[in-house]
Amino acid sequence: MVDTICNFNGKTLSRTSAHVMGVLNVTPDSFSDGGRFVGLDQALYQAQAMIDAGAAIIDVGGESTRPGAQAVSEAEELVRVVPVIEALTARFDTIVSVDTSTPAVMVAAAKHGAGLINDVRALQRPGALSAAADTGLAICLMHMQGQPERMQDSPVYGDVVAEVCDFFQRRLTACDLAGIARDRLLLDPGFGFGKALEHNLLLLNRLERLTIEELPLLVGLSRKSMIGAVLNKPVEERLYGSLASVAAAVMKGAWIVRVHDVGPTVDVVRMLNAVRLERAG
């Protein structure tokens, strides 16, 4: 297999192996760990723990996008996110991602050393396309039906795989027009974002069909409600289901898996990489 390298503002990751992205929510209301890492010291301590456990990317988010979440102001998101990104990039050599849909936050994060914009709204907020283009950063475009406030009320699809693919094609065209090169882009099918259980399971089982133009896939399955629905487990008891979902995703082509439980996931991903590549390391 010929290896390729993806660039994240000067830092690189191999495309041959799958990698783990650690979630760092600096919000009071995220569904799994809201409020635990809102202070700078707590955020840095958690980032250090995830890096020590093998995270290749730390994803910093200042606006919860859980079902029913309310938007936060641009000013509040900047206050939550920018000091953390600045501190992380000053202390660690690990890639830092910013989980945001807000143009001003994208620009500020890039200025302070972020390497990836992870946007659940796929650059659809006013000004986001041009802001993201100007940063020069890698960008992850995620599919979401509706908005977080109401996205899980009654999601409906005719063919969820085809509709997610069509959405990606439209956003890729928009990126082309904005001057964003394809080699800067990743795609995320958006598990749990405007999707019922059957949609999530079908997308996971057909994940390889979403590798449009061989663009890398980023997936977030960690502790999500689809796992709770299958296993009848609360959020704090979804580790094994999360690991099983990660295994399925990686074997079907996921390149980056976004998770809360970094250490156990790194073990799973390393083992899967060894199987896929038929070698260790």
Report helix angle 160-178 to 197-205, nearest 10.
70
How many beta carbons lie within 10 A of that of residue 11, not counting itself? 18
The answer to whether 269 touches 250, Cβ cutoff 8 Å, is yes
For 242, the token pair is: 């999360």
Q: Label residues 169-191 b or e (16+ Cβ within 10 Å = b).
A: eebbeebeeeebeeebbbbbbbb
How many beta carbons lie within 10 A of that of residue 156, not counting itself? 9
How many beta carbons lie within 10 A of that of residue 118, not counting itself? 26
H helix or E strand, kind and range, residue 14: strand 11-14
Active site residues: 224, 258
Name the residue type at position 204: L
| Percent of the chain that is helix, strand, coil (3-state, to 5) | 45, 15, 40
